[in-house]
Amino acid sequence: MTVAVPGSIAALPRVVGAALRVPLVTGERVEYANLDHAASAPCLEQVRDAVDELLPWYASVHRGAGFASRVSTRVYEQARDAVRRFLGARPGDTVVFTRNTTDSLNLLARSLPRHTAVLLFDTEHHAALLPWRGPHVRRLRTPASPSAAVAELDRALAAAPEGPRLVVVTGASNVTGEVWPVAELAAVARRHGARVALDAAQLAPHRPVDLKALDVDYAVLSGHKVYAPFGAGVLVGRADWLQAAEPYLVGGGATARVTDRGDRLGVAWSAVPERHEAGSPNVVGVHALAEACDLLGRNWAQTVAHERELLARLRAGLATVPGLRELSLFGPEHDRVGVVSFVVAGQDAGYLAAALSAEHGVGVRDGAFCAHVAVHRLTDGDRALRASLGLGTTVEHVDRLVAALRSLVLDGARWDYEVVEGRWVPVDDRRALPPFLR
């Protein structure tokens, strides 16, 4: 099923829950305005249908002779090809399935050769900021512009110790949505003999990602960001470091052979990618991820056009809210995906988020978005609000957010709120949970 989008843009894949209606504290019900796609995107209907089609055939993979096991194994292995196409991987690149972006980057961090120098900017999301340990990790300060980022990386690599080097860079900021100069940073890395790992979690749902064109060595992403919320992620890239490393997790699948040697076990590890996929794999999640990759790959033109139109409308509307300041690393004119973070003078971000939900049926994110260093620097230590767009976003959702913010700032909330366990909630909140939670 498809859904019409603004202007003359062709139809887009439809998300599950597009017609979801949520309760308000006033007793009304309204269509949910999901403006929190950057945290987790809803499932696409075609992805759900693909999962439903697989479920009767679901079985353990790789080690089963039964026909259902053969079907599930084929599904699992074909998913690697779908992800490889989606990310423009090179013929020799390996595709390792993980739980999510965080899992993928921790796997890569565990697979680095000893004494690898790791360089990254401190504006990274925690998944890319925290896995790297040791004296050879260099965190670079927030750059004022893309050219400043390139120059700073050039200087840092020139001073880095000899030996293997890895540059970690995001494709698009999960705070501001701004697109990073990945190709330019990769060119600098190449001049200094460094490899590049691309955190594509926030870029991949919005724009095509091509490892060959960007000249990066690794890319990671999460299924739940690309409309496949079934618990799968992926690490794609050069196989040599992963092949040389001890398995990230040990157990069945990671082992080619285990023998009893009396006082110890003899273990021969599998080759990549199985080397880092111990245990029974998430066949359903991987199939969902592959289906989502194929769908996005066939719909880039209309996806990008849809988002750009709504993003322009959102930013223009937010500019009319008194006291609202949009957060930016590189300036208001820099290219960005459908993510906008902002603060409102004199207003607590958590309070506004609670009122937007309870009184207007609008879902946004508040806080520091697992990017504390970046948000605290851009807000002088405060929390922010983030509105993020996706395939399920409509003009009405954007306009409702803007109108609600203006009303809250100019006239105040219509309901009373209190802080419970660190979060603002409506006083005497009688909104009923869905039946499956009762």
**pLDDT tens-digit map of 354-404:** 999 999 999 999 999 999 999 999 999 889 999 999 999 999 999 999 999
State residue 64's pLDDT score.
81
Confidence class for position 9, pLDDT limits 50, 70, 90: very low
The type of residue at 352 is: L
Q: Is the pLDDT of residue 1 over 60?
A: no
**12 pairs with which residues across the strands?**
3
Question: Domain boundary residue among 297, 313, 338?
Answer: 297
What is the average per-residue pLDDT within 97-124? 97
Burial 134-157 (b: 16+ CB within 10 A, else e): eebbbbbeebeebeebeebbeebb
The type of residue at 367 is: G
Please check whether residues 406 and 425 belong to one and the same domain. Answer: yes
30-86 pLDDT, tens digit each: 999 999 999 999 999 999 999 999 999 999 998 788 999 999 999 999 999 999 999
Question: Domain boundary residue among 297, 319, 340?
Answer: 297
**CA distance to 63, 280, 332, per residue, from 68 (Å):** 11, 15, 53
Task: Classify burial at 438, counting beta carbons within 10 Å of its beta carbon; exposed 0-12, middle 13-18, buried 19 or more.
Answer: exposed
**218 pairs with which residues across the strands?**
197, 237
Structure tokens at 164: 């293997």
Contact yes or no for 278/250 (Cβ under 8 A): yes
State residue 10's pLDDT score.
52
Confidence class for position 248, pLDDT limits 50, 70, 90: confident
Contact yes or no for 44/16 (Cβ under 8 A): yes
Contact yes or no for 42/52 (Cβ under 8 A): no
Please check whether residues 344 and 216 belong to one and the same domain. Answer: no
Which structural domain range is residue 261 located in?
47-297
Contact yes or no for 413/359 (Cβ under 8 A): yes
Confidence class for position 29, pLDDT limits 50, 70, 90: very high
State residue 4's pLDDT score.
45
User: Rounded to the nearest 5 degrees, what angle is found at the Cα of 98, between the Cα atoms of 93 and 100?
Assistant: 115
Tokens 């990945």 belong to: 182
Please check whether residues 269 and 398 belong to one and the same domain. Answer: no
Please check whether residues 247 and 345 belong to one and the same domain. Answer: no
Backbone angles phi, psi at 331, to 5 degrees: 105, 155
Confidence class for position 289, pLDDT limits 50, 70, 90: very high
* CATH number of the domain residue 419 falls in: 3.90.1150.10
The C-alpha R_g of the chain, in whole angstroms, comes to: 23
Please check whether residues 398 and 319 belong to one and the same domain. Answer: yes
Please check whether residues 72 and 16 belong to one and the same domain. Answer: no
Please check whether residues 386 and 254 belong to one and the same domain. Answer: no
State residue 8's pLDDT score.
36
Please check whether residues 194 and 100 belong to one and the same domain. Answer: yes
Please check whether residues 237 and 286 belong to one and the same domain. Answer: yes
In 3-state terms, what secondary structure has residue 40? coil
Please check whether residues 174 and 284 belong to one and the same domain. Answer: yes
Percent over 70 (pLDDT), the chain:
98
Q: What is the mean pLDDT of the chain?
A: 95
Please check whether residues 173 and 290 belong to one and the same domain. Answer: yes
Please check whether residues 290 and 416 belong to one and the same domain. Answer: no
Domain count, the chain: 2
Is residue 43 annotated as part of the catalytic site, yes or no?
no
Contact yes or no for 149/180 (Cβ under 8 A): yes
Q: Which entry of 137, 150, 370, 409 is annotated as an active-site residue? A: 370
What is the average per-residue pLDDT within 119-135? 95
295-336 pLDDT, tens digit each: 999 999 999 999 999 999 999 999 999 999 999 999 999 999
State residue 438's pLDDT score.
76
* CATH number of the domain residue 223 falls in: 3.40.640.10
Question: Domain boundary residue among 297, 325, 354?
Answer: 297
248: DSSP letter: S
- The closest of 217, 229, 191, 188 to 108, measured between CA atoms, is 217
